[in-house]
């Protein structure tokens, strides 16, 4: 009996052993990510827009290299990026180009492209408390104060250089309010072919449902850089901004103070550990706690002008600029050694010369030449051949886009020099200022605001540049 009971007791174990022996080995469970690894990175949608070409709607890196093409930078960690030829619209390479992501302050490019033509730069506006009532906590500010007057030119300097949400809200109020401005921005995005973009807040402050894509941001930059004022503001390194009104103790007269503001675009101004990028002519950087870091830039080298957008790199700090610079370097080296994987589409009406994206002034010898009134990257880096050369080329390249040049493509063998139809001889851009021709000082670092890419500016003083904004 004892033996029988032992056999009965052992039977289940024997059966289990037989079953396990005959069954295939089970796959080892995937290790759970440790807290040190951080949260799992999101994946791009399986189905994205195909505006500009089928390949641009595919997830992952899209590139069509020819013989001798250099390899893409291995260290690029941005969730989405794009490198495109500003003249032809050819997309040289891209990664998740149509992934809708939080854009941060790079959406201010669309804000400027929508509103810049509406107001004369010399128009004066007195700021009311209502103009600044809807600013989000932690917003990046240039230092606009209620009950004081500012010109439209002052406000645009605040938008482009300091990414000032206060300046954005004042201009929105002048335009009829936030809701009207947001509606017009979304309408303008549709005209430009930007199907991934939905604007909720005109300043780029984090808002539910507010998204754009690397492709769309590049469209906004290309459209904006056709406007002389946009080019001017995007390339300005430093400027004087109106401060408080104070009474002189000796004379008894009230005088308006000014303070210096500097551009937060680190590829334009440089920062410790990061040199200004040669040939860069702007455009816009951004940061919020949800969006992380975003950047769109335009640069000229030789006879070529490239656009780059990078969104959400894995690291913070200056990494978004480093990745943009690496992609620009690759683009200039690879432009004639890759087949385009897509194109930047023309805005509605551009092929018939009816688009709103041409220079506002009449044609002539100086038409399309940038005309900054304050110190710019050219003055800041006189030996770099930087923004001055770039803006001259951009003025010539981009001014023709609204007249039907979107359909133009270069047909040439790889490595052949690019012909530039309709391009006259280069002239130096009208940049810089005799009053302040020296280099820009390295920006002072500041702690980023929680949701607005930088803390508020102190009253009557420039706010120290945040790492994004």
Active site residues: 105, 108, 163
CA distance 276 to 379: 13
Proportion of the chain in helix, strand, coil states, percent, rounded to 5: 30, 15, 50
Dist. CA 122–CA 358, nearest whole Å: 21
Structural contact between residues 155 and 132, judged by C-beta atoms closer than 8 angstroms: no
Q: What residues contact 43, with CB distance under 8 A and at least 6 apart?
A: 59
Q: Which residues pair with 296 in a beta bridge?
A: 284, 309
Two structure tokens written together for 154: 């002052």
Q: Residue 89: phi, psi to the nearest 5?
A: 85, 0
Rounded CA separation 117/192 (Å): 16
Q: H-type helices in 298-429, by residue range?
A: 319-334, 377-380, 387-399
* Nearest CA among 284, 273, 281, 280 for reference residue 453: 284
User: What is residue 3's DSSP assignment?
Assistant: H
SS3 320: helix
In contact, 450 and 138? CB cutoff 8 Å: yes
- For 216, the 3-state DSSP assignment is helix
Phi first, then psi: give them for residue 192, nearest 5 degrees. Answer: -80, -10
Task: Report phi then psi at 412, rounded to 5.
Answer: -155, 155
């Amino acid at each position: 009996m004892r033996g029988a009971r032992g056999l009965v007791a052992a039977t289940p174990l024997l059966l289990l052993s037989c079953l396990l022996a005959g069954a295939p080995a089970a796959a080892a469970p995937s290790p759970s990510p440790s807290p040190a690894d951080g949260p799992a990175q999101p994946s791009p949608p399986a189905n994205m827009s195909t505006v500009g070409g089928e390949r641009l709607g595919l997830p992952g890196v899209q590139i069509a290299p020819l013989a001798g093409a250099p390899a893409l930078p291995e260290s690029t960690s941005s969730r989405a990026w794009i490198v495109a030829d500003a003249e032809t619209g050819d997309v040289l390479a891209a990664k998740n180009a149509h992934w809708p992501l939080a854009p941060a302050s790079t959406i201010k490019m669309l804000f400027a492209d929508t509103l810049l033509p509406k107001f004369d730069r010399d128009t004066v506006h007195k700021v009311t408390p209502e103009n600044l009532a809807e600013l989000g906590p932690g917003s990046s500010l240039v230092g606009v104060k209620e009950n004081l007057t500012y010109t439209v030119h002052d406000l645009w300097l605040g938008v482009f250089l300091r990414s000032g949400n206060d300046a954005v809200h004042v201009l929105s109020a002048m335009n009829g309010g936030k809701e009207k401005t947001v509606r017009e921005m979304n309408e303008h995005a549709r005209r430009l072919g930007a199907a991934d973009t939905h604007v909720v807040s005109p300043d780029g402050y984090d808002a539910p449902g507010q998204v754009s894509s690397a492709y769309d941001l590049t469209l906004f930059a290309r459209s904006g850089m056709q406007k002389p004022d946009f080019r001017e503001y995007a390339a300005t390194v430093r400027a004087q901004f109106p401060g408080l009104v104070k009474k002189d103790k000796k004379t008894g007269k009230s005088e308006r103070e000014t303070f210096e503001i500097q551009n937060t675009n680190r590829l334009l101004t440089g920062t410790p550990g990061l040199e200004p990028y040669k040939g860069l002519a702007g455009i816009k950087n951004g940061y919020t706690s949800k969006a992380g870091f975003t950047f769109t830039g335009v640069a000229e080298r030789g006879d070529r002008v490239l656009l780059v957008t990078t969104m959400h790199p894995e690291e913070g700090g200056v990494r978004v600029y480093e990745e943009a610079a690496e992609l620009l370097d690759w683009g200039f080296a690879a432009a004639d050694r890759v087949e385009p994987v897509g194109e930047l589409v023309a805005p509605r009406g551009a092929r018939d010369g009816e688009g709103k994206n041409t220079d506002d002034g009449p044609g002539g010898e100086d038409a399309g030449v940038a005309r900054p009134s304050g110190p710019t990257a050219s003055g800041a880096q006189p030996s770099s051949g930087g923004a001055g050369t770039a803006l001259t080329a951009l003025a010539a390249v981009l001014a023709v886009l609204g007249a039907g040049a979107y359909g133009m493509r270069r047909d040439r063998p790889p490595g052949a020099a690019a012909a530039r139809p309709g391009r006259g001889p280069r002239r130096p851009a009208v940049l810089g200022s005799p009053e302040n021709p020296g280099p820009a000082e390295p920006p002072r670092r500041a702690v980023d605001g929680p949701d607005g890419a930088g803390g508020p500016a102190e009253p009557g003083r420039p706010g120290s540049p945040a790492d994004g904004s």
